[in-house]
A and B are shown apart, each in its own frame.
Chain A
Amino acid sequence: MKPRTLHDEPLIFERNPERGPRGTFRLPAGEVPPVDPRATLPAEQLREPLDLLPDLGELEVVQHFHRLSQMNFAVDEGLYPLGSCTMKYNPRVCERACRLEGFTEVHPLEPDGHVQGALELMWELERALVAITGMAAVTLQPAAGAHGELTGMLMIRKALAARGDARQAVIIPDSAHGTNPASATFAGYRALEIASGPDGTVDMAALDRMMDETVAGIMLTVPNTLGVFEHRIVEISRLVHERGGYVYLDGANLNAFVGRALPGLMGADALHINLHKTFSTPHGGGGPGAGPVAVSEALVPYLPVPRVVREGDAFRMVWEDERSIGPMRGFYANFLVLVRALAYIRGMGSDGLREMSEAAVLLANLVRRRLEGAYHLQYEAPTLHEVVFDDTFQKEHGVTNIDIAKRLLDHGFHPPTVSFPLIVHGALMIEPTESPSPEEVEAFCEAMLAIAREAAEDPERLRTAPHGTPVRRLDEVAAARSPVLRWRKE
């Protein structure tokens, strides 16, 4: 990343306002006669020429975004150990595959006979995800993990309604992602928080007390956000099922156990899969993701429509099904993300996917071994693909997890996830993934150890970090106090 030393990159609106328009992207012309919109459209709704944007040449615009890109950190730049976000390498062949014209230029409402390749691709990806999860069926509709959570909870709601059972609440551990309680709320449920036991997993006695006929089920992350596998998962599912509830598994951390364990054997009724985590589709600076949901036999009737069905060698999109919860979005799925995920699964193969989880767990445990002692570990249970330290030792010198994160930027690494999960104060949640070389991971550990020493020797250096980034530490409090959410002409 380039520090912004010479000049800041202005906003596009601030470019050459006085110099007059330049030739912009050339549109097709001369195919049809022009129309005067004043004769064809309601006069009061016609806008005057747009002055929202300057008219610039192509190079000016490309340079603008090139320069902006130089102020971003990326997976391709260095270790991005953002816990729970799974910032792994995005294989370029997947990018190439999803740009094939036979995928990009296909309209979603072409007759089924003209989109057999697209339908087959979706059908095959569903089968692959069934194999990976051991569940009964999959919907590819959800646009992201949180969207998948809501989809799953709405299916559970519908299944309960089908047997005339109006339950009101859902149990969610205090270590859960914020999307879990939010999704429960949007599915019409009250979120009941259950405290984690001393080893960071679900407290069975508390679950036993809470799980009654008013509770629709539990939302559980496996392994949980501490990286700890919920080792009583079978007992938990049994208890919830015995009392008429359903088990929702948050599959955000599926990458920890692909080819080693099956959610279908854990008693899951619904499980979302973040294709942008486990199956390496790019995060894109905040999406698009894709959050397919795998379900047990009990929820199959309630899957969202439209669904792909196979009839002999042909595929068809079915839009109507009375028992379905209905559609969760426009059209079918984030299809071009699905293309990448299937390319990844085919490129990895059965052995590669298993090796992926093993390498992710190995590297995370390497980090844990190297940093133990220098950073405080609140929960000592064995961890899989990620590990959560905290700033207890550094706080003695007045240094917080945020300071540590910002100082890491000066070492050329993306910081870990900070201040999550909420049950660990001053959390630093580290997930290296399977992608980096051990040298890269070791260099990150060296940087973390250097920062731990610096916390004792020169805490001020940390509190004022970062020192070498395109901008210095930003005043996020001021941004929220009087928000400026758009540029305005002065």
Chain B
Amino acid sequence: MHPWIGVGEADRRRILDELGLDSVDALFETVPAAVRTDRLDLPPAEDEGRLMASMRALSGRNTTAAAVPSFLGAGAYRHVQPSAVDAVLSRAEFFTSYTPYQPEISQGTLQAIFEFQTVIAGLAGLDVANASLYDGATALVEAALMSHRLLRAKRNTVVVAETVHPMYRRVLETYAGALGIAVVTVPPGEDGRTDPGRLAAAAGGDACCLVVQSPNFVGIVEDLPAVAEAAHGAGAMAVQVVAEAASLGILHGGGRFGFDIVCGEAQSLGLPLGFGGPHLGFFACREEHKRQMPGRLVGQTVDADGRRGFCLTLSTREQHIRRAKATSNICSNHGLMALAATVFMELLGGSGLRAMALGSHAAAEETKRRVLMLGDPWRLAYPIAPTFDEFLLVGPAPGEELARRAAEAGVFAGVPSRKWGGSWPDGLLVAATETTRAGEIRALVEVLGRIGR
């Protein structure tokens, strides 16, 4: 008998008696003999003490990004973690409930998501946002597929800037390949930015969307107004993907400049690094396209007494109703992560989100300045480009080697920029945030200085 199972030995006998059965085996008679097993090749149960000790031992074999000076980013960022976020997430009313199909007993989850949708749409500069997707990579895929649905009668190509996170682009290729959608990649110009003219030229007449990431993979803020214009000039949807959502605290989301979809990764808004997941995909678009959106949506309505309430809505888009013709196959999304982001954003308030963005930007600018003081051979790959909280640093060796040597010296100096290939210089992507301490910057400079000699 196990404490996580509600049925004891006596209960078992009583239930079997009521069912008129001798043994529980009788309940499994429909399972054919050929597929049966009578044992599992797994260790016996561990008590809580042993279990925690063994999990602690595993966790102890990881270096936390808090234990050493860390400048790792590239799609996952170390930002402040208010204690109240996890306290709210730890409430069983939130974490042990299901997708809010029964709105009368799910108003808490539903109202929180409604608040999430409101803030995300506002940050994106667009009309509506959904309840969440898995992560930034799959959010980009959903944006491309939605553009394709809207324009597929005529257009079958997704044009994507090479400076969109290479990991995201590879996921896009996984999905697009099966559907026969072409993906065309456009390298950046010499300043590290995507040239809107080259994007438009690559579009030809067959692009359903033009995708840029801003700030892009090498940290640079793209020329969003010009990209939107290029997309629309080519008759395509303009899609912005954001891998560092903290930037939206001081930078307008693309909706402001006419982007049709703004989507991406919101791990920066209250979620731990967690070795890559669960993170939080977000997705915002124009009102007129809402019936083509992927994923869950919460809407406002009234109850039988005329009082305001919330419920899941426009579900005829979704797989449980529309089946093979659904706008996405997504069912479970990242509801609890959306709740975390909502609590986080409400704890920081409008001014805190701005301050966090400014703090991250200032830390990265200071890091840049200090590292450049090392002089030759350290230089910026794109010296004049505007960056938010991450930049591409080139040094005396390829990025992989720099990262490895710095890590050996006790500093996570950055992510090798060519980890997934790319036409940019081979160096380190260095990220700093509002959590970066002056001492960490000193440690970085010292370690890089030693490597440079």
Q: Is the CB–CB distance between B72 and A284 below 8 Å?
A: no
Q: How far is the CA of A347 from the CA of B44 in the complex (A)?
A: 8
Residues in B neighbouring A106, C-beta threshold 8 A: 62-65, 273-275
Q: Is the CB–CB distance between A472 and B72 below 8 Å?
A: no
The reply to whether the CB of A298 lies closer than 8 angstroms to some CB of chain B is no
Given A9-B111, A330-B279 in contact, is the A32-B441 Cβ separation under 8 Å? yes
Residues in A neighbouring B117, C-beta threshold 8 A: 485-486
Given contacts A143-B334, A260-B38, A331-B279, 16 further A-B contacts (CB under 8 A): A28-B80, A32-B441, A35-B366, A40-B365, A45-B225, A52-B350, A65-B108, A110-B62, A143-B135, A286-B336, A319-B420, A326-B171, A351-B45, A353-B42, A479-B313, A486-B118
Residues in A neighbouring B447, C-beta threshold 8 A: none
Q: Contacting chain A: which of B99-107, B152-160, B194-202?
A: B99-107
Q: Contacting chain B: which of A53-61, A205-213, A240-248, A449-457?
A: A53-61
Q: How far is the CA of A486 from the CA of B226 in the complex (A)?
A: 29
1/0 per residue B322-341: CB within 8 Å of A? 11111011111111110100
Residue in B closest to A406 when the chains form the complex, CB atoms: B104
1/0 per residue B79-120: CB within 8 Å of A? 010101011101111111111111111111101111101110
Residue in B closest to A486 when the chains form the complex, CB atoms: B118
Residues in B neighbouring A104, C-beta threshold 8 A: 272-274
Q: Is the CB–CB distance between A471 and B170 below 8 Å?
A: no
1/0 per residue A95-120: CB within 8 Å of B? 11101111111111111011111101
1/0 per residue B165-201: CB within 8 Å of A? 1011011011101111000000000000000000000
* Chain B, range 141-168, C-beta contacts under 8 Å to A: 145, 165, 167-168
Q: How far is the CA of A331 from the CA of B75 in the complex (A)?
A: 9
The reply to whether the CB of A394 lies closer than 8 angstroms to some CB of chain B is no
Can you list 14 pairs linking A and B with CB atoms under 8 Å apart?
A27-B355, A33-B362, A41-B388, A55-B349, A71-B108, A72-B106, A108-B273, A287-B99, A369-B19, A384-B28, A471-B303, A474-B103, A484-B299, A485-B300
Tell me which of B18, B135, B313, B358 contacts A35 (CB under 8 A): B358
Residue in A closest to B336 when the chains form the complex, CB atoms: A284
Q: How far is the CA of A99 from the CA of B81 in the complex (A)?
A: 13
The reply to whether the CB of B298 lies closer than 8 angstroms to some CB of chain A is yes
Given A33-B366, A435-B4, A435-B6 in contact, is the A185-B273 Cβ separation under 8 Å? no
Residues in B neighbouring A40, C-beta threshold 8 A: 361, 365, 386
The reply to whether the CB of B453 lies closer than 8 angstroms to some CB of chain A is no
The reply to whether the CB of A299 lies closer than 8 angstroms to some CB of chain B is no
Q: Is the CB–CB distance between A56 and B349 below 8 Å?
A: yes
Given A35-B365, A286-B131 in contact, is the A146-B19 Cβ separation under 8 Å? no
Q: Is the CB–CB distance between A85 and B98 below 8 Å?
A: yes
Residues in A neighbouring B450, C-beta threshold 8 A: none
Tell me which of A76, A187, A415 contacts B178 (CB under 8 A): A187
Q: Is the CB–CB distance between B128 and A486 below 8 Å?
A: yes
Q: Is the CB–CB distance between A186 and B175 below 8 Å?
A: yes
Counting contact residues on chain A (CB < 8 A from B), the size range is: 35 or more
Q: Is the CB–CB distance between B93 and A72 below 8 Å?
A: yes
Tell me which of B7, B29, B252, B278 contacts A337 (CB under 8 A): B278
Among A62, A73, A147, the most chain B Cβ lie within 10 Å of the Cβ of: A73
The reply to whether the CB of A325 lies closer than 8 angstroms to some CB of chain B is yes
Residue in B closest to A235 when the chains form the complex, CB atoms: B32
Q: How far is the CA of A349 from the CA of B434 in the complex (A)?
A: 44
1/0 per residue B6-43: CB within 8 Å of A? 11000110111011000010011111101111111111
Residue in A closest to B386 when the chains form the complex, CB atoms: A41
Minimum CB–CB distance from B273 to chain A (whole Å) comes to 5
Residue in A closest to B66 when the chains form the complex, CB atoms: A105
Residues in A neighbouring B298, C-beta threshold 8 A: 485
Minimum CB–CB distance from B422 to chain A (whole Å) comes to 14
Given A287-B335, A438-B7, A474-B103 in contact, is the A72-B353 Cβ separation under 8 Å? no
Among A182, A283, A438, the most chain B Cβ lie within 10 Å of the Cβ of: A182
Tell me which of B58, B251, B278 contacts A288 (CB under 8 A): B278
Given A107-B78, A181-B323 in contact, is the A327-B174 Cβ separation under 8 Å? yes
Given A72-B93, A182-B319 in contact, is the A103-B274 Cβ separation under 8 Å? yes
The reply to whether the CB of A473 lies closer than 8 angstroms to some CB of chain B is yes
1/0 per residue A454-490: CB within 8 Å of B? 0000000000101001111111101110011111000
Tell me which of A91, A144, A178 contacts B318 (CB under 8 A): A178
The reply to whether the CB of A420 lies closer than 8 angstroms to some CB of chain B is yes
1/0 per residue B36-74: CB within 8 Å of A? 111111111110100110111111111111110010101
Given A53-B346, A111-B404, A483-B297 in contact, is the A362-B333 Cβ separation under 8 Å? no
